Structure 1
Amino acid sequence: MVCDTVVYHPSVTKFVKFLDGSAGREKILRLLQYLARFLAVQNSSVLARQLQAQFTTVRKFLRFLKPLSHLQAAAKFYDNKLASDNVVRICNVLKNIFFAAYLSLDQINLLRILKVLPVTILTGKKIPRWSNWCWLFGLLSGLAMDLRKIQTSHVQITAFTNAKSQNQGGEQEDHKKVLGKAYQDRYSALRRLFWDAADSFIVLNNLGYLTSSEEYVALSGVVTSILGMQDMWKMT
């Protein structure tokens, strides 16, 4: 009876469903990768470094052909000519194109790790750097979109707050719902802005434009991994 209660508990069922998808497993591995990176710095652990490398490689396998989903998303955003905000639309297009390029170049990194491709200046240095640049441009597109969403949400909140509504009853309730949605949209945009900024901190260190302590870079990865897992959990 106790076993059945645990096995069929909604949270356990949701967790199993979360792990069934490659996206959920990839998010967990990303968290483990950055935790291992943090422990490697703290304890100078060779095992942690090896685990970090293994988690990184497995994640590359799980993201195989993922560029196609980003290209499809970019095409859908581009074709949506009726979008209410063209700035957000264009930013979404650019973000998905750059992420598709980043993940495509990352597949070449995987082939190099598997020794399918030889280690040369191109495969060993240039392509990893290009992939980081594509990741950065994708994040910058996301940051621009986040700021635009914060701006539009703030304008809506100000307009609703300052309006002297004469409506009563059901219309007043609708007014509150729209205002509540505007607050929620602003919170989501602020959360995403923090997320994209933290990832940008990581990639800027990867490119050498920042020389922050390795433990801070690892902690940034831990935080953004948790944020990604939270979003994935809500969608499960």
Structure 2
Amino acid sequence: MVVDGVVYHPTLNKLINFLDNGAGREKCLRLLQYLARFLAAQTLSPLAKALQGQFAIVRKFLRFLKPLNNLQAAARLYDNKLTSDGIIRAFNIIKQLSFSGYLSLDQINLFRILKVVPTSKLTGKVVPRIANWCWLGALVSGMVCDVRQVRLSQSKITALAANDDEKKLLSRAYKDRYAASRKFVWNAADLFMVLNSLGYLQYQEGYVALAGVFTSLFGLQDTWRAAKA
């Protein structure tokens, strides 16, 4: 039946699994948040501004206790002494710890918005700024890993290019280089955003929002690929 074909279609199954996952919902809300931020910057619409704030709050709820994931990832990287490259391992540990700090401090922002903790100079200005510094540290560490991975992949490509018997390994090296290059661009766009938040760049709000839309689409793409069909 046509209905059965729609209900049991692999794409619909994948969409359901995608939206049933907290990460999938959070990525969708991130995209909506930055789209609303862009509209608010362009139209000065109070509705768009309000939606931006509401999407941001819901995302904070979805990320509650997420720092534990980053701490666990850092611990696993630290315990994995057999990793292929020490530089990537070290900076990945820094990245995970920095993300954990960023997300932990962001929970204080949530408690402040919910009036669980009082609004003060510490909770209203200092904590958000330190959180952005943690995000900055995570992004810079990630970009170091990306550059290192591109160099390692390129070395493999150079070594394997003349050997016709290593086509699978060569294909894998090309994919690794592309993935690292893509992640570098992704991190660079997020870096543009956090540098504006910290006041080191002074670009218009619309450009910052577009950078958020851009990185949100990257995140959605990766989360969609990881969802089960």
Structures share a fold, TM > 0.5? yes
Matched, 1:85 2:76: no
Amino acid at match of 2:99: F
Alignment of 1:199-218 (within 5 A): 199-218=190-209
Equivalent residue, structure 1, for 2:57: 57
Counterpart in the other structure of 2:41:
41
Q: Would you say 1:2 and 2:6 are equivalent positions?
A: no
Compute the displacement of 1:2 (Å): 2.9
Match of 2:153?
153
Please tell me the residue identity of whatever aligns with 1:121. K
Measure the CA separation in 1 of the matches of 2:54 and 2:3: 34
- Provide the C-alpha distance between the structure 2 equivalents of 1:26 and 1:133, rounded to a whole number of angstroms: 22
Q: What is the distance in 2 between the residues matched to 1:109 and 1:28?
A: 21
Mapping of 1:97-176 within 5 angstroms?
Answer: 97-161=97-161, 163=162, 165=163, 172-173=164-165, 175-176=166-167
Q: Which amino acid aligns with 1:218?
A: A
Determine the C-alpha separation between the residues in 1 that align with 2:3 and 2:27.
28
In the alignment, is residue 14 of structure 1 matched against residue 14 of structure 2?
A: yes
**Distance in 2 between residues matched to 1:36 and 1:197, nearest whole Å:** 22
Alpha-carbon distance in 2 for matches of 1:230, 1:193: 16
For 1:51, give the aligned amino acid. L
Which residue in the other structure is 2:223 paired with?
A: 232
Please tell me whether residue 73 in structure 1 is matched to residue 78 in structure 2: no
Amino acid corresponding to residue 35 of structure 2 in structure 1: L
Any unmatched runs of 5+ in structure 2?
none
Give the equivalent residue in structure 2 for 1:168. none
Distance, in Å, in 2 between the alignment partners of 1:7 and 1:120 is 52
Paired residue type of 1:87: I
TM-score (norm 2): 0.97
- CA shift for structure 1 position 47: 0.3
Cα deviations by residue, 1:106-128 (Å, 9 ceiling, x for unpaired): 00000000011111000000000
Amino acid at match of 1:230: Q
Letter in 2 for 1:8: Y
Q: 1:223 aligns with which of 207, 210, 214?
A: 214
Distance 1:181 1:13 in 2: 29
**Max Rg structure:** 1
Match of 1:195 in 2: 186
1:5 Cα offset (Å): 2.1
Number of aligned positions between the proteins? 227
**What do residues 29-54 of structure 1 show as CA deviations (whole Å, max 9, x unaligned)?**
00000000001111111000000000
In 2, Cα distance between equivalents of 1:4 and 1:199: 42
- Runs (4+) of structure 1 exceeding 3 A deviation are none
What displacement does 1:85 show? 0.3
Structure 1: unaligned runs, 5 residues or longer: 166-171
